[in-house]
Structure 1
């Protein structure tokens, strides 16, 4: 009995130590965020242990754990009034959300949505994304096509990009739009995080295809990941240990996406792959000069990390690091000029904040109509967390602003 009185406080202290993280004072629901992050870290560590024991790949384990938790949340998602069907668009699985017919019988708006998760996690069938797409379909009177692209480790770049492009082009066909009663002049492409990456890359490619008869009117990117050139932008430095996406985790997702060697993680961290003597990277450096692309409030007193000598072999081993289909922020100005009206949502407490802000600025410089919607109290991934127990005030705040912009512009 006496031992229990010693053990219980010790366990409580260890648990508190594991959960607690110092967070900026403005972060929404800090203790709930710490608990979410601790749960996610524990799931990741369990996955790594199973991976180490060679039972399964740790990302497959992590996705299994996410889906197991998701079974509980699915009970909170009602499909009332919204028709939800599964389909295959040019070999790619999609989930289609259709609002009920309304009295005016007018054509509906259309939204192609691409989910996030580091190209490795989550699904169009995850409750958090089902809930988001249902609300979009209902609020916008829009047909929402949620793309179920293949995931790491079973598929790596460029397969996710090809899946998203094929499914989107299929939906944009006039006969398919007519089947779903969608107005060809009122279609948006959207996605969050890695899905924002795919949405931006797909939009860039569509803008260059001359034979398309239907093109998206808008693109809406939610805290998108857009570059692997510089892992020391101010937001990468400032938020390097922030939940839910610390810097080292984002670098690992890039390595998984490119099927790269994880021994290169440290070299990427210090920007060895884009050093001044790495000739392949020289032509892209001017397109990602954050000292000119970011506002002073983002730059603060952070300094660029530019290596004089680096490791050219990294680009040789992973040429996709400079492939605009994977890193849309590095696209040339001629491509950016062709982009549709754009919405970019960024969060202050996110390593990817500056990716979105720089893309918005480059698009603006290219003459594109851009809205940069920045949230000072929010964190990466927040918009989808609207279901108990992972319901955050930041989620409702960002989702409301995002849907409002789509409603006013689509």
Structure 2
């Protein structure tokens, strides 16, 4: 009996030690987030183990576990269900509500899911429920794009899939087929999906061969640049769940099909050292000392290496490609993009990407609604559903849908 009690105590201490992560006092429901983070870390660790053993790629293990956990979030009864089809050869899932006046044209929204360009799916329960909710409450046709993922494909395939599906949906005859008002079509996405949504919105806005344009772009904690991994939010939140700074660099390198030994040099901004002339025309576009307000700069200092490795930008030229890094777009392009909604969270490494993009859009004359959550963390909207719900996620979801309802 004593042995059993001792073993139980030791196991309990070990589990508590594994779960516990120091978190900011202002973050939403910290213990719940710790448990969620421990679960996600376990998935990544198991995936890493299988990859090291040569069983399969880490990402494929994570996808398998995610698919196995789908049933934990019950589906609502009634409401619009998704049906799968293809747009220009790209898999999409369509959501159409039966509500509303049948003789009245509906709104349309292209939605691009997150997941570091490597995980996530239109069928993932949180995204499925989000699209069902938007279709029903907005009386809209939602096109959730099942773009291809890394490591099976790399940039620019993910972007190309999203662009081609969007262009297909924006064709007047396709909008008419789904009874969508061509004046009320938008694009949206979260995290990596926010990256793709911003990039697609830029291209659609400048392509004069496309007659129907997006009315809005709604970006949820988007990732928009890979030149500075030491913005104030990266420095402040580098170890805050559920997206760590090192994980974000890892996702970038996988997306851009780059050598993962570059993680450390990029973490210390070796790839954007002052001695690289190729960056001269881009520096102002991600200069957070000019683009962020003092409340977000706080007391953090820029990390700028005097001499770095010029080989990194040569090996990974996509780091400077606006299709991968929309924050680097020229003002003339930004000025043609639609009005924007940008959601950011205080406890998120990507906070400053969204804030800098909002500022650059405003400087270009675009109307921007910035929606910031002081208690929010990366991915919180995905946890507005299911067995693990966060109050900040539910609140952010309501405000996001409310903005779309008012502006789309």
- Shorter-normalised TM-score: what interval? over 0.9
Determine helix, strand or coil for the equivalent of 1:203. helix
Alpha carbons 2:126, 2:386 under 8 Å: kept: no
Match for residue 63 of structure 1? 63
For residue 48 of structure 1, what is the aligned residue in structure 2? 48
Specify which of 207, 210, 213 is matched with residue 212 of structure 1.
Answer: 210
Partner of 1:390: 388
Aligned-partner Cα distance in 1 for 2:277–2:312? 12
Q: Deviations over 1:352-409 (max 9, x none)?
A: 0000000000000110000110010010000011233221111111000100100011
- 1:25 is paired with a residue whose SS is coil
Report the equivalent of 1:409. 407
Within a 5 Å distance, the mapping from 1:185-264 to structure 2 comes to 185-264=183-262
TM-score of the two chains, using structure 2 as the length reference? 0.99
1:77/1:130 contact within 8 Å kept:
no
Q: Which deviates more, 344-353 or 76-85?
A: 76-85
How far does residue 83 in structure 1 lie from its aligned partner after superposition?
4.2
What's the secondary structure of 1:178's corresponding residue?
helix
Could you tell me which runs of 5 or more consecutive residues in structure 2 were left unpaired when the two chains were aligned.
none
Q: Using the TM superposition, give the Cα deviation of residue 101 of structure 1 relative to its aligned residue in structure 2, in angstroms.
A: 4.7
- Hey, which bits of structure 1, 4+ residues long, moved more than 6 A? none
Partner of 1:112: 110
Match of 1:152, SS?
A: coil
8 Å Cα contact 2:189/2:196 also seen in 1: yes
Alpha-carbon distance in structure 1 between the residues aligned to 2:203 and 2:294: 32
Counterpart for residue 139 of structure 2 = 141
Residue 292 of structure 2 corresponds to: 294
Q: Distance in 2 between matches of 1:88 and 1:406?
A: 25
The CA distance in 2 between the partners of 1:346 and 1:19, in whole Å, is: 26
Aligned partners of 2:207 and 2:258: how far apart in 1? 30
Flag structure 1 segments of 5+ consecutive residues without an equivalent: none
Which stretch of structure 1 is more off in the superposition, 385-394 or 180-189? 385-394
TM-fit CA distance, 1:104: 5.7
Match of 1:379 in 2: 377
Q: Distance in 2 between matches of 1:318 and 1:288?
A: 18
SS of 1:390's partner is coil
Q: How far apart, in 2, do the equivalents of 1:168 and 1:304 lie?
A: 38
Give matches, 1:113-132, under 5 Å: 113-132=111-130
TM-score, normalization by structure 1: 0.98
Q: Distance in 1 between matches of 2:317 and 2:196?
A: 18
SS of alignment partner, residue 235 of structure 1 = helix
| Cross-structure match for 1:268 | 266
CA shift, 1:63, in A, is 0.7
